[in-house]
Chain A
Amino acid sequence: MPSSSRNALLRINLTQQTATTEDISLELAAYIGGMGIGVKLLLDEVPAGADALGADNKLIFAVGPLTGTSAPMFPQTCIVTKSPLTGTILNAYAGGTLGPEIKQAGYDALVFEGAAAEPIFVFIDGKEVSFHPAANLGGLGTSETARRVRRTIALPEARVVSIGLAGENRVRFASALAEHRVFGRGGAGAVMGAKNLKAIAVHGDRPVAVHDPGVFEAAVGAAWALIHAELDNEFSLLGMFSRHGTGSGMGLVNERHVLATRNHRFGHFDQAHEIDATAYENVYPTRPVSCFGCPVHCGMLRRVRDGPLKGLFSRGPEYETMYALGSNLALSDREGLFRANDRCDQYGMDTLTLGAVLGMTMEAAENGLLKESAGLRFGDPDSILGLIEKIAHRDGLGDILAEGPARAAEKIGGNAIDYAMQVKNSGYAAWMPRSMKGTGLSFVTANRGACHKRAPIGVEIMGFVDGTTIENKAAIVKEIQDKVNAYFTLVSCRFAEFVLPPEIGLQLLEGATGQTLSDEEFMQLGERIWNLERVFNIAETFGRKDDLFPAREFEPIAGEDMDAPQFTRVEADSMLDEYYELRGWDADGVPTSACLEALGLADYGKRMALPGADKTNR
């Protein structure tokens, strides 16, 4: 029977420059796709303690059963690897058209292993895989790299993943760009850089069939109806994203005094209206762009008409960047922020972790902790752009900052670590745990470091649950973590969960591949993956000692009418206790053997008993 899955993975050995195709085993297929098979493969193939920037680490690109089909909101590609930023397991996502191209090339996953001796790019043209020298692409920006790769292979329609200078220089939070979409978090770009893999080009033209067109088309129709209703409502989240991009909610967040400002000291940014979506729309000609097959079109492509940046076009900034490099750094210079966002895309670095690094650096400079701090100050675009250059080149102070917020703060010394808004060395996302404690719990327990993709942001910001209490947050967080992990096996856009309930995803899956799962089985799959990730991290010696909030969370939010802290260490501990218990983990956050057995993961208990964590990368 036909299936939308290829039942094939392509294994590319960069050391030997060979490629082989393998069947997806039944055991692997039980993880459906995307994040599921990526995590399972990494656990099975990368030993505990492997150097994230060494040849032992693997870089997995995985798509899902709905990728390349006509199901709306499933355009993304998932990367799974060991993160050089956190030392934990990483999953990161980018939309665009890469995923469907991988599927059309004939694969559910690409596994890159080993490391090339010289810079290369790899071209996957259906069954043909070729290796090309890339020394001449060294130092080029991500867009120019993609252009030249396409020219070299003489195939303008090929899709390209590329890294910039930050990835080449192994900046620990380097990103990889799938054209105008970004695998942002966790340093996948540095993993590519360490493997001397400057770019990957993909081309394929195989059709994507579905198992049962009747069932599938009915589910697609149901999904469309839900999405249309949402898009027709201009005040719904997707309705807003569709009209103005992800930055459309900034005013609301600011109004509610949860817009992290000046390195999370304040919850309100007086100049937010200078850098929100409307401000950009009013100044720069903007046109929305979609990912494959998605009617939401939340990406905003803008062009600079005049002034010193005349001619520059760039997608964004997205909401999270408006926070990370905007309010968080008190930057109200719209053009400076646009420029910084573009430099990050061209150098290939994650704007979120960069924002945490720069916030820490500026506060350390304000407090006299930096020798090399001349002129560094909040709100100054030149300080920000200057540090981006230094980090990408690993020049001077930039070499320290390229290590990520916590590691850089340790090198700076003093109490700089208190200024580092991070968990496990991964920079915060745009939210303030003091006012959104469930979101805070998501940050500290996330397997990839401070992560907003599996956080109850919507319900806390809209006030559906009280963000200021810790009540019931462990259960809410566990549920959203498991649920989003399950969606990421399909691989959906994160926003699909806002509008498509699990039963639609499962009908689509049944129509596409014939796999039938109940809601409970689907949620349990998410939980199984969550625990597999935790096992990976425990084997890297992570535990409760790392599930920590930065010290700032236990201070009052400045500028607000409050004299006591909004959040206490007792509350934080109590949420963690409750969360670990709910997950079936012990008080140190280690999954118990009973928990692993119940999830069918008993074999993985052994991995946690093995010493050998990679201290050099911690």
Chain B
Amino acid sequence: MDTPLLRLDATKCVECDLCSLACSLAKMGQANVKIARVRIAKQWPDHPGLNICHHWRCDSLACIDSCSPEALELEDGVLFIDASLCTGCGECVPACPYDAIHMNELDWIAVACDLCGGAPACAPVCPTDALVFEASPAPA
């Protein structure tokens, strides 16, 4: 595997939502964790999960199949959603087993974490280094 990824060490995550705040500010220009693309799935008292695309261990890639205008594709190891093709049908949202795709509340097109083009806003603000970005991780 040689694909950039965000990795969450759930045992270190304190569920402060600072990553989601940073994401919403960077991608949408507003403080609103509800529309962040990087979301911490709280499963209190269990450790939280990270709701982003896990395509490298996703058997089905059902999101890509679900999209009739073919707006979704994997590009350089990142799920890319072509906004010009997205019709806002929302089919891809439930198709994703990792809850990684959301409808953008502002213009109602599908969005997902694109790793900010290789310099994500979220990981640097993590106070416990639970969320780390690996540009070219070692094979798992």
Residues of A near any B CB (own CB < 8 A): 68-70, 72, 97, 100, 104, 179-180, 205-210, 231, 287-297, 301, 303, 313
Give the residues in chain B near A97, CB-CB below 8 Å. Answer: 17
A/B interface sample: 17 pairs, CB < 8 A: A70-B31, A72-B18, A205-B32, A205-B105, A208-B32, A209-B30, A231-B127, A287-B14, A287-B47, A292-B17, A293-B16, A293-B17, A293-B18, A294-B16, A295-B16, A297-B16, A297-B127
0 or 1 for each of B47-66: is its CB under 8 Å from A? (1 = yes): 10000000000000000000
**For the complex of A and B, 6 pairs with smallest distance between CB atoms:** A295-B127, A290-B16, A207-B32, A207-B30, A297-B14, A205-B34
Contact A295 B18 (CB under 8 A): yes
Give the residues in chain A near B28, CB-CB below 8 Å. Answer: 207
Give the residues in chain B near A179, CB-CB below 8 Å. Answer: 44
Give the residues in chain B near A100, CB-CB below 8 Å. Answer: 33
Is B139 close to A, CB under 8 A? Answer: no
In the complex, the number of residue pairs spanning A and B with C-beta atoms less than 8 Å apart equals 65
| Docked CA distance A422–B15 (Å) | 36
Contact A289 B32 (CB under 8 A): no
Expressed in whole angstroms, the minimum distance between the Cβ of B107 and any Cβ of chain A is: 14
0 or 1 for each of B27-39: is its CB under 8 Å from A? (1 = yes): 0101111110000
Q: Return the chain A residue nearest B126 by Cβ.
A: A295
Is B117 close to A, CB under 8 A? Answer: no
Expressed in whole angstroms, the minimum distance between the Cβ of B38 and any Cβ of chain A is: 14
0 or 1 for each of B1-34: is its CB under 8 Å from A? (1 = yes): 0000000000100111110011011001011111
| Docked CA distance A215–B24 (Å) | 19
Contact A289 B14 (CB under 8 A): yes
Is B136 close to A, CB under 8 A? Answer: no
- Chain B interface size band reads 20 to 34
| Docked CA distance A97–B34 (Å) | 12
Expressed in whole angstroms, the minimum distance between the Cβ of A370 and any Cβ of chain B is: 38
Contact B11 A287 (CB under 8 A): yes
Contact A70 B34 (CB under 8 A): no
Give the residues in chain A near B14, CB-CB below 8 Å. Answer: 287-290, 297
| Docked CA distance A119–B30 (Å) | 38
Is B84 close to A, CB under 8 A? Answer: no
| Docked CA distance A100–B24 (Å) | 14
Expressed in whole angstroms, the minimum distance between the Cβ of A599 and any Cβ of chain B is: 34
Contact B31 A206 (CB under 8 A): no
With A209-B31, A290-B127 already in contact, 10 other A-B pairs whose C-beta atoms are closer than 8 Å: A207-B24, A209-B30, A287-B14, A288-B14, A288-B128, A290-B16, A292-B17, A293-B21, A294-B16, A296-B127
Expressed in whole angstroms, the minimum distance between the Cβ of B139 and any Cβ of chain A is: 29
Q: Return the chain B residue nearest A2 by Cβ.
A: B30
Q: Return the chain B residue nearest A302 by Cβ.
A: B45
B11, B16, B17, B18 — most chain A CB neighbours (10 Å):
B16
Contact A180 B44 (CB under 8 A): yes
Contact B32 A290 (CB under 8 A): no
| Docked CA distance A313–B43 (Å) | 13
Q: Return the chain B residue nearest A314 by Cβ.
A: B45
Q: Return the chain A residue nearest B21 by Cβ.
A: A70
Contact B16 A206 (CB under 8 A): no
Residues A290 and B15 in contact in the complex (CB < 8 Å), given A297-B128, A303-B45, A313-B45: yes
| Docked CA distance A303–B46 (Å) | 10
| Docked CA distance A287–B15 (Å) | 11
0 or 1 for each of B93-106: is its CB under 8 Å from A? (1 = yes): 00000000000010
Name the interface residues of B83-140: CB closer than 8 Å to any CB of A.
105, 127-128
Contact B31 A208 (CB under 8 A): yes
Expressed in whole angstroms, the minimum distance between the Cβ of A96 and any Cβ of chain B is: 10
Partner of A291, one of B16, B44, B45, B128: B16
Contact B16 A69 (CB under 8 A): no
Give the residues in chain A near B11, CB-CB below 8 Å. Answer: 287
| Docked CA distance A231–B16 (Å) | 15
Expressed in whole angstroms, the minimum distance between the Cβ of B30 and any Cβ of chain A is: 4
Expressed in whole angstroms, the minimum distance between the Cβ of B13 and any Cβ of chain A is: 9
Expressed in whole angstroms, the minimum distance between the Cβ of B116 and any Cβ of chain A is: 17
Contact A104 B45 (CB under 8 A): no
Give the residues in chain B near A68, CB-CB below 8 Å. Answer: 31
Give the residues in chain B near A289, CB-CB below 8 Å. Answer: 14-15, 44
Give the residues in chain A near B17, CB-CB below 8 Å. Answer: 97, 290, 292-293
Contact B34 A104 (CB under 8 A): yes
| Docked CA distance A179–B25 (Å) | 27
| Docked CA distance A242–B22 (Å) | 21
Q: Return the chain B residue nearest A242 by Cβ.
A: B127
